[in-house]
Copies of this chain bind each other. A is one copy, B any other.
Amino acid sequence: MPEPDIFRALADPTRRAVFERLSAAEMTVSDLTRGFDVSQPAISQHLAVLKGAGMVAERREGRQAWYRAAPDALSGLEAWVARYRTFWPERVEALKTVLKEMDE
């Protein structure tokens, strides 16, 4: 049982988009705010939820706060999905194919 927080964190599209950007690059709150059509407090609140779910990490530097996706942000989710994967062996085969392609 991955902390239910991650499911709630992923439920909001804006929050998913924030996480996507933080997966591509470390950014400050100002950087993120510029990229979305919501206020800075809204971004801070989304970041607090993502942090509470262990999906992002914070690094303070002066008056700036740099955020980035946590390395194991989705490990809990992967583990949860893996439980069901055992019921569907054919999906494992499909996944193997994907991984094989990534090797080439």
Question: Is A77 interfacial (CB-CB < 8 Å)?
Answer: yes
**Given the complex of chains A and B, what is the CA–CA distance between A35 and B58 in angstroms?**
41
On chain B, the residues within 8 Å of A16 by CB distance are: 4, 7
User: Which one of B13, B73, B99 lies within 8 Å of A92 (CB-CB)?
Assistant: B99
Check if A69 sits within 8 Å of B84, measured CB to CB: yes
On chain B, the residues within 8 Å of A75 by CB distance are: 91, 94
Which secondary structure dominates chain A's binding surface? helix
Question: Is A60 interfacial (CB-CB < 8 Å)?
Answer: no
**Given the complex of chains A and B, what is the CA–CA distance between A87 and B73 in angstroms?**
11
**Given the complex of chains A and B, what is the CA–CA distance between A10 and B11 in angstroms?**
8
On chain B, the residues within 8 Å of A71 by CB distance are: 88, 90-91
Check if B69 sits within 8 Å of A74, measured CB to CB: no
Check if B73 sits within 8 Å of A77, measured CB to CB: no
Question: Is A96 interfacial (CB-CB < 8 Å)?
Answer: yes
Of residues 35 through 66 on chain A, the ones whose CB sits less than 8 Å from some CB of chain B are none
